[in-house]
Structure 1
Amino acid sequence: MISSQYVSHVTLQRDKVDSFERYPFNLPAVRTLDRLEMHPKVTFLVGENGSGKSTLLEAMAVSLGFNAEGGSKNFRFGTRRSHSELHSYLRIAKGFKRPRDGFFLRAESFFNVATEIENLDEDPTAGPPVIGHYGGRSLHEQSHGESFMALMNERFGGQSLFLLDEPEAALSPQRQLAALSRMHALVRQGSQFIIATHSPILMSYPDACIYHCGLEGVAPIAYEDTEHFRVTRDFLLDRERMLRVVLQP
């Protein structure tokens, strides 16, 4: 049966890898990777820093035709080549429906995306201003959180594919809830999300698939079993005890 979702699964072509002892194939999220099923609505990649979840998401984005530093498939700028070769070893299985649009967000390079938008709009012959699709106000003239919400509210639309790398880096808890609400609206309009995150707020999205990237590789995990949920819950339930433990001499 042919899937109707935009990305149905991701496969690492292990036979093409000459060594799993070198980067990026030695990363925990990649070393044992075979096939990863994507949820038709929302898939989360979670895990410690250095586990490889962002590298895996980036490789998926590049393999799908997105710019390595972020943006839509029309963005082709590059300030510094830093992405790995992993995308060349991935096979992305797609459904029969093509997304109407898409966007790859990297929190660490969103500044570069905002700069590229301004560079594009400096050309008076290039057509209508690109910033018009982002609310009409320069993203550099807004806070990081404001510009990200402008992206979600003004640029993102239905029937689209979105890959987001640690979007919570720009957002307060209240803004994370707003992003969760907007994400739900876009899912109801037929969009699909694949997100690498540390945020227990974002990963609480109902009926999502959560993959934990750990030392043993990538495996499904229940929301309540994630370290992000457990540590946050324990801290809020007994803040004084947790502080005594982490602040002891």
Structure 2
Amino acid sequence: MDWPNPAEHYPYNLPAFNGLSELSIDSAVTFFVGENGSGKSTLLEAIAKRAGFNPEGGGRSNRFSTAETESSLDNHIRLSWLPKVTQGFFLRAESFYNFASYIDELEREFSTRYAAYGGKSLHQQSHGESFLSLFTHRFRSRGKALYLLDEPEAALSPARQLALLRILWEQEQSGQAQFIIATHSPILLGYPKAAILNFDTSPISPIRYEDTEHYAITKQFLNNRDGMLKELFDN
């Protein structure tokens, strides 16, 4: 990582990036956690752009654009893989509608029968169904693949978050897939032996699952819902 000098404007002035020169992501499944605005989605987007994926979502061959809102962070990072990644996908929950529309356009032109998306338009499925169709059918690779997921839980019920954990596990067994996931979900964060990187520290640092705010607050709420709500509403 090679930040501009001076790094006074967003996103280079985020505390998570302060003093950060290198970030090793070695685990098959790595989670980015942190408050909104901490930089996790911004870094995920920059990795996607450097990997050659569409910054609005998709893989290397998906070329569409509705608005240029991404940061310039990708210009100041360098990626290194062994072996080199040539396949993968970038999921952005916030722009998934645009991606689904793009796939519809391809279907009208080439009539692929939505082979990689469950056999029908992603728009003809519920939000959660379309996400799972993508995960189940599109996340298949014959070579090393990198999958970048930005808040996939946005469209998934708790039961379907568990289904995603199963998909992550199946892909990990192939030895060909690596996942980097920005999330707020304590269910997804519970994936066994995953690495968790905390963007609420300066700079980014590893954190145990049980030490995350996501786990602690959820556990406290489930164990003492009435007490937490009373304290919240009475003050």
Q: Same fold (TM over 0.5)?
A: yes
CA drift of 1:215 comes to 4.8
Q: Residue 46 of structure 1 aligns with which residue? A: 33
Taking the TM superposition and a 5 Å limit, the aligned residue runs for 1:1-249 are 12-14=1-3, 17-99=4-86, 101-123=87-109, 126=110, 128-129=111-112, 131-158=114-141, 159-190=144-175, 191-249=177-235
CA drift of 1:43 comes to 0.8
- Give unpaired runs (5+ residues) of structure 2: none
Q: Deviations over 1:151-190 (max 9, x none)?
A: 0111111442100000000101110001001111011112
What is the CA–CA distance in structure 2 between the aligned matches of 1:113 and 1:28, rounded to whole Å? 32
What is the CA–CA distance in structure 2 between the aligned matches of 1:79 and 1:92, rounded to whole Å? 26
User: CA 1:85/1:221 → structure 2, altered by over 3 Å: closer, same or farther?
Assistant: same
Q: Residue 5 of structure 1 aligns with which residue? A: none
Give yes or no for contact 1:41–1:192 (8 Å, CA) kept in 2. yes
Equivalent pairs counted in the alignment come to 232
What is the CA–CA distance in structure 2 between the aligned matches of 1:173 and 1:96, rounded to whole Å? 35
Q: Deviations over 1:26-76 (max 9, x none)?
A: 123323322111123011100000101000100011011000000011011
TM-score by length of 2: 0.94
Give yes or no for contact 2:57–2:91 (8 Å, CA) kept in 1. yes
CA drift of 1:130 comes to 6.4
CA drift of 1:245 comes to 1.3
Matched residue type, 2:68: R
Q: Residue 8 of structure 1 aligns with which residue? A: none
Q: Deviations over 1:125-163 (max 9, x none)?
A: x4x516211111110111110000000111111442100
User: What SS does the corresponding residue of 1:93 show, helix, strand or coil?
Assistant: coil
User: What SS does the corresponding residue of 2:199 show, helix, strand or coil?
Assistant: strand
CA drift of 1:23 comes to 1.3
Select the structure that is richer in strand.
Answer: 1
Question: Which 4+ residue blocks in structure 1 deviate beyond 3 angstroms?
Answer: none
Give yes or no for contact 2:122–2:130 (8 Å, CA) kept in 1. yes
CA drift of 1:94 comes to 0.9
Give yes or no for contact 2:85–2:146 (8 Å, CA) kept in 1. no
Matched residue type, 1:53: K
User: CA 1:155/1:141 → structure 2, altered by over 3 Å: closer, same or farther?
Assistant: same
User: What SS does the corresponding residue of 1:201 show, helix, strand or coil?
Assistant: helix
User: What SS does the corresponding residue of 2:216 show, helix, strand or coil?
Assistant: helix
What is the CA–CA distance in structure 2 between the aligned matches of 1:227 and 1:72, rounded to whole Å? 32
